[in-house]
């Protein structure tokens, strides 16, 4: 029996959301640059004290500019992936749980949502896919 891709994607998103996995969506570099620039400018103007003041000011500025750009991985999985990426993720997760050998493929989705050890296998597969294929940064 073929896997219902949408149901499996929802199960994967549930696992990611339960573990509170978030990803940085194209803003980590911007925040780093802002913080570093402020710290550098503070150091040039006021010496060692300026490093601390510039670092604090840069951190606050980076927070304000990148606020809301770290999103739950489950939301990204359900809303932002293309059909090709969804299919690749389903294949990635299916390979990860292939050793489990569920007697019926219909049992795979409840197995993923209810079994902690399988959730960890699926979570590792999701995080691997997000970092290696989608080039996203996982935020703890």
pLDDT in tens, 103-133: 555 666 777 777 788 888 888 888 888 887 7
Domains in the chain, number: 2
Rounded Cα distance between 76 and 17, Å, is: 11
Domain match, 5 and 48 both? no
Residues 85-98, mean pLDDT to the nearest whole number: 79
Q: Is 40 left (phi over 0), alpha (psi -120 to 50) or beta?
A: alpha
Domain match, 107 and 131 both? yes
- pLDDT above 80 for 40: yes
Percentage with pLDDT > 90 across the chain: 1
Domain match, 50 and 113 both? no
Domain boundary among 39, 68, 97: 68
Domain match, 92 and 138 both? yes
What is the arrangement of strands in the sheet containing 22-24, beginning at the earlier edge strand? 70-72, 22-24, 137-139
- pLDDT above 60 for 102: no
Per-residue pLDDT band for 2 (boundaries 50, 70, 90) equals low
pLDDT at 33: 83
The answer to whether the beta carbons of residues 119 and 18 sit under 8 Å apart is yes
The answer to whether the beta carbons of residues 42 and 53 sit under 8 Å apart is yes
Q: Output the average pLDDT for the chain.
A: 77
Q: Which domain holds residue 38?
A: 27-68
Residues 44-50, mean pLDDT to the nearest whole number: 90
pLDDT at 68: 66
Domain match, 64 and 79 both? no
Helix or strand or coil: residue 69? coil
Domain match, 14 and 62 both? no
Per-residue pLDDT band for 64 (boundaries 50, 70, 90) equals confident
């Amino acid at each position: 029996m073929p896997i219902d891709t949408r149901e499996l994607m929802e199960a994967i998103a549930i696992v990611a959301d339960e573990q509170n996995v978030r990803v940085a969506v194209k803003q980590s570099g911007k925040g780093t640059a802002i913080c570093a620039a402020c710290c550098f400018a503070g150091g040039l103007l006021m010496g060692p004290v300026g490093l601390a003041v510039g670092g604090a000011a840069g951190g606050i500025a980076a927070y304000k500019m990148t606020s809301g750009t770290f999103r739950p991985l489950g939301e990204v999985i359900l809303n932002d992936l293309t059909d090709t990426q969804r299919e690749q993720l389903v294949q990635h997760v299916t390979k990860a749980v292939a050793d489990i050998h569920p007697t019926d493929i219909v049992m795979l989705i409840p197995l993923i949502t209810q079994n902690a050890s399988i959730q960890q296998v699926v979570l590792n597969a999701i995080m691997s896919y997000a970092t290696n294929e989608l080039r996203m940064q996982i935020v703890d």
